[in-house]
A and B are shown apart, each in its own frame.
Chain A
Amino acid sequence: MAEHARHRPFSVRRIPGFTAIASLCFVLLYAPIITLVIYSFNDGESVALWEGFSWRWYESAWDNIQVQEATVRSLVIATLASGIATVVATMAAIGTTRTGAFPGRLAIYAIINQPLMVPEIVTAVALLIVFAMIKVATGYSGLAYLVAAHAAFCVPFAYLPIRARLEGMDLAYETAAADLYATPWRTFRHVTLPLMAPGIVAGAMLAFVVSLDDVVITEFVKSAGQDTLPTYMLGQLRRAVTPEVNAISTALLAVTVLLVSAFFVLSRQRR
């Protein structure tokens, strides 16, 4: 037995202070969020002074026309943008995993993931300039600009889980389908698509959350009166800060946590 103990494999858990450091990290990460959540239920006007429990800021946010409009706008943009990004990402993932090696595949991989590498502020400024030119030329100033911008930076977030799923999927299934009289389209429809579906759903949810959260690009691209929930909140912070912002944040947090948990469940699903 003692012999056994001496030969235990190395484990980071036995490094002195491991537990303390790990706990501290979690506290630093989550203490601010917990504070935010707690004060969203504050009965008073302050975000720092506790005056008892109430739902008043949730009610106030719920009744606030601007919040309502920003929420609907955020959901519309996130739905459209993640939808477009998922379709594009699915096609890109198939093109980069289900074909033989072709010259420039690495370059294509880099281009698809470009929004992850280029600083967001650079993309934001670039879009601002290009969209301004288009606005002048066409006179159109609707939501399409925001949808297009969000769809663009959502692509890599949708692409990565879909590609991971496809790479883990044996080509033998598609070969077997072709052997069993399935044309390339029916092979895709009856074998590839159902097998990659968990990856597609995971990619779509990740894209949705990323779009819902975005501030920088939205702030630059939006026209007047096109606030999304995050940019509306940013605007509010410039004036008096009330626990209403906490309430909206908490609601947003709840939605995000739900979606991200679903993402992990789906992306861990193995067949």
Chain B
Amino acid sequence: MQQQVSEGRVLIDSGKNSNDASLMIEAIGVSKIFGSGDSMITALDAVSIGIREGEFFTLLGPSGCGKTTLLRMIAGFEHPSSGAILLDGSDISELPPYKRPVNTVFQSYALFPHLTVAQNIAFGLQMLDRPKAEIAETVDRMLSMVKMEAMKDRLTSQISGGQQQRVALARALAPQPKVLLLDEPLSALDLKLRKEMQIELKRLQHETGITFVFVTHDQEEALTMSDRIAVMSEGHVLQVGSPHDIYERPANRFVAGFIGETNTLTAEVMSSTTDRISLRLGEGLELDAELPSGMTPKERVTLVVRPEHLRLSFGTTGSSLPGTVSNVVYLGTDTHYHVRLDSGDELVARVQNSSASDLQFGIGEAVAVAFEPSTVRVLRD
């Protein structure tokens, strides 16, 4: 244990709590309780996550799940009710925001209205008492990085929403923080600008190498931008993983349903080993699937399979589920077929329209639904 005195405060360097030496932020059993008595709200319940240095990490979850609360605790605007937050190995739980090398891009941008664009960007560096020449040089670099050189002397009320967004980014990046926090920074922008800014953000993250912690409730945004995603619900982190992991191997029904469209099916367990499971679906279909590690299956399990992994064919064939097309939704590149299975379950199959073997199914038509066993995911609960 190494102790380090900083402006009257003792920073205890607890060393690396985890084996992963590259963790930039570590939340250890962090809980946050607002209010007391009857009006008590548990915004976060013993959340533990590790965010790696230099990654684009996204907190994803529905409204009220505690994303902002977690972000505000990393920034220092809230303090954990219990647990600790480590930044680069040091416990920062009790440090005030102005002593944390962490900057935030606020949802409302919160640009200072009495300062110009350039003065806004310079603010953090001035508060750090950096030399004038260095400030001027950094501000110019930031201005060109977000392509706002021409607007540097405007007041922030005299630029558009998208431009304000860029200034807010430049202002937060100028002091070169260890971590940049972004709380739904794109939600106020229209779709086109939003897509542009998504690319812009990725570029900035790549150029600066700074760890980004990004909050969104838009699953598509999370999938396209993140290195890793933490899916949250009601104060808990349900799953942390790469977009591919989260999408293809959701840990539970909530994650499966929240990330993209999905189909859920129940299956009877015929036999199982430590890592494989044999299942029967309805009458016609038997398959082997991977068993999530550490799970002991009961008699029935829930399966998820993505719409794009379902294959449709006319009539009934061998290893498939019989059903009837109940609705057809044309989406340009794809068509969604809603199929009511004879067992009563409702499935959605996505079929690409450009495929050479393109088959057209009409409403009311009898079809057979099939899929590769490897595309099926068995859920824990």
Is the Cβ of A178 less than 8 Å from the Cβ of B113? no
Q: Which residue of A has the minimal Cβ distance to B124?
A: A180
Measured CB to CB, the nearest residue on chain B to A178 is B97
| A112 smallest CB distance to B (angstroms) | 27
Interface residues of A in 91-129 (CB under 8 A from B): none
**Interchain CB contact under 8 A, B98 and A170:** no
Judge if B42 is at the interface, Cβ distance under 8 Å. Answer: no
Tell me which of B53-61, B100-108, B141-149 binds A.
B100-108
Which parts of A171-185 form the interface with B (CB within 8 Å)?
172-173, 175-183
Query: How many angstroms between the C-alpha atoms of A158 and B96 in the bound complex?
Result: 33
In the complex, A186→B112 CA distance in Å? 14
Chain A interfacial residues counted at CB < 8 A = 18
Q: Is A215 an interface residue (CB 8 A)?
A: no
A181 touches B128 (CB 8 A): yes
A259 to B98, CA, bound (A): 40
CA A172 – CA B108 in complex, angstroms? 8
Q: How far is the CB of A253 from chain B (nearest CB, A)?
A: 34
B103 partner, pick from A170, A179, A190, A195, beta carbons under 8 A: A179
Q: Is A8 an interface residue (CB 8 A)?
A: no
Asked if A271 CB lies within 8 Å of chain B CBs, one says yes
Contacts of A175 in B (CB 8 A): 77, 97, 106, 110
Tell me if A194 counts as interface (CB < 8 A to partner B).
yes
Given contacts A194-B114, A195-B114, contact A170 B108 (CB under 8 A): yes
Q: Which of A176, A182, A194 has the most chain B CB atoms inside 10 A of its CB?
A: A176
Task: Kindly list chain A residues whose C-beta atoms are within 8 Å of the C-beta of B113.
Answer: 173, 195, 271
Known contacts A172-B106, A186-B127, A271-B157; decide if A178 and B98 are in contact (CB<8 Å). yes
A191 within 8 A of B: yes
Distance between Cα atoms of A177 and B114 in the complex (Å):
13
- Known A-B contacts A183-B98, A195-B114, A271-B114; A177 and B108 likewise in contact (beta carbons under 8 Å): no
* 6 chain-A/chain-B pairs, Cβ below 8 angstroms: A173-B112, A173-B113, A179-B76, A179-B97, A181-B124, A195-B113
Residues in A lying within 8 Å of B, measured CB to CB: 170, 172-173, 175-183, 186, 190-191, 194-195, 271
